């Protein structure tokens, strides 16, 4: 912003001059500066950005009442017919509000500006989730409008204790971030920690939840995420009820949840919408898929290179025969196939949905069969890569998918060069790094078995009426979320 007066002048035309300098008027064509006189002869200036403001509301409820006002000086707040008109005494705040789509009003005799919330820019309507599909859960997803996203969360948490604090991030982008928490339930130390991290960001451009996550997340060198990203309002409401902090960023259809643990990245978006039997089975499948995606390829390459005695002789002979005409080493063959699989998956994600599935079929079936017929790869290697990739696709979070892929490649190299000793060393290093990782200053890994808390048991989903307490790492303010007997009707009948 240009160097101009910080304070608002008592003369409306002087303020108009400052506004023109700040917004580079008339070079800047989308800024609208309207100057006129009221019936009492007072100068009035109305400023807004074309395309971001509801011009009908500006003309009918701001400009027209000011023009017909015969008071001197003008009583701004009793003249403007707007229910949300605030008093602003510094020019920088006025400029920030104009950039958000609001309208600023300057009148003679007032050392302040009246700023009316007149946002009217186009926005995407509420749609179904694209990355977190659910069968029994809600079919609503966040959009790019922070106001719409906050209202979606409030629909799921109808309590006056739900608080939203607004913080501006980015020296140039000036993106608005909403910090949401439940007073009396969320630890205020966690809230203050989030607010401190947001306010201490020093960067010109920070836009979207992805960039914001990198600026406020713990363990910046870790491949595993420390902040959970979700596009489902019901999931954000669930985490708020668990004592978490939710950060909503303007212009982003994803919200950030913190603190979180590793088990919550493996949890389904449906959560407790499933019965505990099916929910437990799904969790076991995802936990098994996590281990399988991480270790299958590495153990395979370690065994066929260094530990032949671990395989039955017949199976070892079949593998040797399938690789007899392959011109590459087993390690190079596996790495090339892993790269090929990632290329196919990335192409399916980035291309339009109408042809994305076709690319996956062509890449996975036709090219795979052609590679086997051309003796470039062995059928066993193709099966191992396909099963590993399929297991990785079971994981519900994209960030965890990428983290597992990176760790898998590292374990393949260790297994191909050092055998199972290298795989064990790599696994120990991963466990050590996860043990040291923090999410908002709290441990990223907690006890794998906790039979009375919500979503902190990685393997077993207890019945809903048995989940009496919140997670241990965050449920210190109000640890109990329901009494021991929550189905009282059973005892009344």
DSSP secondary structure of 181-215:
EETTTS-HHHHHHHHHHHHT---S---HHHHHHHH
Q: What share of the chain is helix, strand, coil (3-state, %, to 5)?
A: 45, 15, 40
Judge if 345 and 435 occupy the same domain.
yes
Judge if 296 and 415 occupy the same domain.
yes
Domain boundary among 260, 291, 320: 260
Instruction: List all residues 6 or more positions away from 447 whose beta carbon is below 8 Å from its beta carbon.
Output: 456, 472
- Residue 395 pLDDT > 70: yes
pLDDT of residue 452: 45
Judge if 284 and 418 occupy the same domain.
yes
Separation between Cα atoms, residue 246 and residue 228, nearest integer Å = 10
Residue-wise pLDDT for 316-332, tens only, equals 888 888 777 788 888 99
Residue-wise pLDDT for 128-144, tens only, equals 888 888 777 788 889 98
DSSP of 69-88, one letter per residue?
---SS--HHHHS--S-EEEE
- Whose tokens are 């290179």? That residue is 305
- The more confidently predicted of residues 446 and 261 is 261
CB atoms inside a 10 Å sphere around CB 375: 13
Span 41-52, average pLDDT: 92
Separation between Cα atoms, residue 422 and residue 413, nearest integer Å = 9
Closest by CA position to 119, among listed 140, 141, 142, 144:
144
What percent of the chain is predicted at pLDDT more than 90?
39
- Is 217:224 a contact under the CB 8 Å cutoff? no
pLDDT of residue 181: 94
Q: Is residue 476 part of a domain?
A: no
- Residue 55 pLDDT > 50: yes
pLDDT of residue 371: 78
DSSP state of 272: G
Residue-wise pLDDT for 346-391, tens only, equals 777 777 665 556 566 666 667 777 777 777 888 888 889 889 988 9
Judge if 172 and 243 occupy the same domain.
yes
Q: Is residue 474 part of a domain?
A: no
What percent of the chain is predicted at pLDDT more than 70?
91
pLDDT of residue 1: 46
Judge if 298 and 421 occupy the same domain.
yes
User: Residue 92: what are its φ and ψ, rounded to 5°?
Assistant: -65, -40
- Residue 449 pLDDT > 50: no
Judge if 301 and 427 occupy the same domain.
yes
Instruction: List all residues 6 or more positions away from 400 whose beta carbon is below 8 Å from its beta carbon.
Output: 224, 225, 265, 266, 290
Closest by CA position to 34, among listed 83, 106, 85:
106
Instruction: For residue 361, give its domain range.
Output: 274-439
- Is 44:37 a contact under the CB 8 Å cutoff? yes
Judge if 242 and 286 occupy the same domain.
no
pLDDT of residue 352: 66
pLDDT of residue 432: 92
pLDDT band at residue 261, thresholds of 50, 70 and 90? confident
Separation between Cα atoms, residue 446 and residue 161, nearest integer Å = 28
Mean pLDDT score of the chain: 85
Judge if 251 and 341 occupy the same domain.
no
- Residue 65 pLDDT > 90: yes
Instruction: List all residues 6 or more positions away from 220 whose beta carbon is below 8 Å from its beta carbon.
Output: 214
Span 250-269, average pLDDT: 88
- Residue 206 pLDDT > 60: yes
Span 412-427, average pLDDT: 94
- Residue 102 pLDDT > 70: yes
pLDDT of residue 450: 46
- Whose tokens are 């270790």? That residue is 295
Q: Is residue 313 part of a domain?
A: yes
- Residue 73 pLDDT > 90: no
pLDDT of residue 473: 55
- Residue 246 pLDDT > 80: yes
Q: Is residue 7 part of a domain?
A: no
217: left (phi over 0), alpha (psi -120 to 50) or beta: beta
Q: What is the pTM of this model?
A: 0.83
Span 459-472, average pLDDT: 72
Separation between Cα atoms, residue 492 and residue 226, nearest integer Å = 45
Span 245-255, average pLDDT: 92
Domain boundary among 260, 289, 321: 260
Domain boundary among 439, 461, 480: 439
Judge if 112 and 152 occupy the same domain.
no
DSSP state of 355: H
When divided into structural domains, the chain yields a total of 3
Judge if 354 and 243 occupy the same domain.
no
Judge if 161 and 200 occupy the same domain.
yes
Separation between Cα atoms, residue 125 and residue 115, nearest integer Å = 27
Q: Is residue 366 part of a domain?
A: yes
Q: Is residue 225 part of a domain?
A: yes
Q: Is residue 361 part of a domain?
A: yes
pLDDT band at residue 451, thresholds of 50, 70 and 90? very low
Judge if 178 and 309 occupy the same domain.
no
């Amino acid at each position: 912003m240009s160097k101009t007066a910080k304070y608002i002048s008592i003369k409306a035309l002087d303020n108009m001059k400052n506004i023109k300098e700040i917004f580079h008027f008339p070079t800047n064509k989308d800024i609208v500066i309207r100057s006129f006189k009221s019936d009492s002869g007072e100068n009035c200036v109305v400023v807004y950005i074309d395309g971001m403001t509801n011009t009908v509301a500006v003309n009918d409820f701001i400009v027209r009442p000011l023009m017909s006002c015969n008071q001197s000086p003008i009583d701004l707040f009793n003249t403007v017919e707007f229910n949300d008109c605030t008093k602003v005494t510094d020019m920088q705040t006025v400029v920030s509000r104009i950039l958000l789509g609001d309208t600023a009003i300057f009148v003679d005799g007032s050392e302040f500006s009246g700023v009316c919330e007149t946002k009217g820019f186009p926005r995407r309507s509420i749609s179904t989730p694209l990355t977190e599909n659910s069968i029994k859960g809600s079919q609503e997803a966040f959009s790019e409008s922070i106001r719409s996203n906050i209202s979606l969360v409030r629909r799921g948490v109808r309590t006056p204790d739900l608080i939203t604090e607004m913080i501006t991030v980015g020296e140039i982008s000036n993106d608005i971030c909403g910090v949401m928490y439940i007073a009396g339930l969320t630890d205020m130390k966690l809230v203050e920690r989030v607010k401190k991290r947001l306010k201490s960001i020093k960067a010109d451009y920070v836009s979207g939840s992805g960039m914001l996550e990198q600026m406020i997340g713990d363990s910046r060198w870790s491949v595993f995420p420390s902040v959970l990203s979700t596009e489902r309002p019901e999931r954000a409401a669930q985490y708020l009820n668990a004592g978490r902090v939710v950060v909503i960023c303007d212009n982003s259809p994803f919200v950030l949840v913190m603190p979180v643990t590793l088990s919550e990245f493996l949890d389904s978006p449906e959560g407790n919408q499933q019965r505990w039997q099916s929910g437990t089975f799904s969790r076991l499948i995802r936990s098994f898929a996590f281990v399988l995606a991480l270790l299958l390829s590495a153990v395979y390459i370690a065994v066929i290179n260094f530990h032949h005695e671990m395989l039955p002789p017949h199976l070892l002979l079949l593998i040797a025969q399938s690789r007899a005409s392959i011109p590459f080493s087993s390690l190079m063959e596996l790495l090339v196939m892993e790269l090929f699989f990632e290329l196919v998956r990335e192409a399916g994600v980035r291309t339009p949905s109408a042809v994305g599935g076709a690319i996956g079929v062509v890449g996975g079936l036709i090219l795979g069969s052609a590679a086997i017929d051309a003796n470039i790869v062995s059928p066993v290697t193709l099966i191992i890569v396909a099963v590993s990739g399929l297991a990785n696709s079971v994981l519900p979070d994209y960030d965890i998918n990428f983290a597992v892929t990176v760790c898998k490649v590292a374990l393949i190299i260790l297994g191909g060069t050092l055998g199972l000793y290298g795989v064990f060393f790599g696994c120990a290093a991963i466990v050590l790094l996860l043990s040291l990782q923090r999410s908002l200053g709290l441990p990223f890994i907690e006890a794998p078995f906790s039979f009375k808390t919500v979503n902190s048991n990685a393997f077993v989903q207890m019945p809903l009426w048995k989940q009496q307490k919140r997670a241990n790492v965050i449920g210190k303010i109000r640890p109990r979320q329901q009494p021991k007997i929550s189905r009282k009707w059973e005892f009344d009948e």
